[in-house]
Copies of this chain bind each other. A is one copy, B any other.
């Protein structure tokens, strides 16, 4: 089978591709395991060299909307033998809030174009749509529910959240119509992401760990008591693959599944950093508030229940210190400070 990953050159897409390549086969939607013949990485950027070196990897580089305009390029982005699409693209929260039209084009139009490309295959491919906990948010003057359940009504307070929630609706209806098999999953805030900061309002939730470990100052632009719902890269990739594997009955309704979350405050995260790398690391944190980031982050829920995810056998990370130590083990070249065992 061919698997398409949009945003496939990004950190999460590349990690997902590496995990799939390593397991060599996949049980798709409850069926018997099949070999993974090819993974098509669709992204504006070239994939990392290790992936390009694998003969099972095909890279399609370009803007998703342009690629999916009917024609030969569209056929390359979603080849006829595609049985599974992980849709991780495209624009992130901060950039969608700063540039409304960019977000509508990159997230809404591109998702619809991708679903149309899948529908055109007439083979009912499985689409795992990476939605986000950013669909939740408390309107001004209102509190969020104490606990966010899978069936809590999302009231997004960002254009990114709205676009993701609309994407969930589109996936649900394309699935109900039989055009695709739909799997809507809401990703928690992924931390620790390696590499460089991005335009997500949550970017600092990786940077505040990654940068100090590299001996570099990092912004912590919200108060320490702000709660966040975290997921390590490993647990996040696990959730995406589990969604692809689940049969229709096992998966349940076409509404979105909240992936499991580790609940922590930003202060808890800083304290875990301190236990791993001491004050040499935590002294590099700059707690100057940034109102634009705070405005988005404080509307996101900290306490997310993952009832459906649990029935699928998915569990959250249990300890953020262990997540930091995983990051250090996986990214030895990015660590410049001494680490306490």
A→B interface (CB under 8 Å): 100, 139, 142, 151-157, 159, 162, 165-166, 169-170, 172-173, 176-177, 253-255
- Contact residue among B100, B169, B177 (Cβ-Cβ distance under 8 Å from A165): B169
A100 CA to B177 CA, complexed, in Å: 9
Asked if A156 meets B177 with Cβ closer than 8 Å, knowing A142-B253, A253-B142, A254-B139, the reply is no
By the criterion CB–CB under 8 Å, are A162 and B170 in contact?
yes
By the criterion CB–CB under 8 Å, are A152 and B153 in contact?
yes
By the criterion CB–CB under 8 Å, are A253 and B155 in contact?
yes
A177 CA to B156 CA, complexed, in Å: 12
Which label, helix, strand, loop or mixed, suits the secondary structure of the A interface?
loop
By the criterion CB–CB under 8 Å, are A173 and B177 in contact?
no
By the criterion CB–CB under 8 Å, are A173 and B159 in contact?
yes
A117 CA to B162 CA, complexed, in Å: 20
A275 CA to B253 CA, complexed, in Å: 43
Measured CB to CB, the nearest residue on chain B to A142 is B253
- Sample of 5 further A-B pairs with CB below 8 A, known A142-B253, A152-B153, A166-B166: A100-B177, A153-B154, A155-B172, A155-B254, A162-B173
By the criterion CB–CB under 8 Å, are A155 and B100 in contact?
no
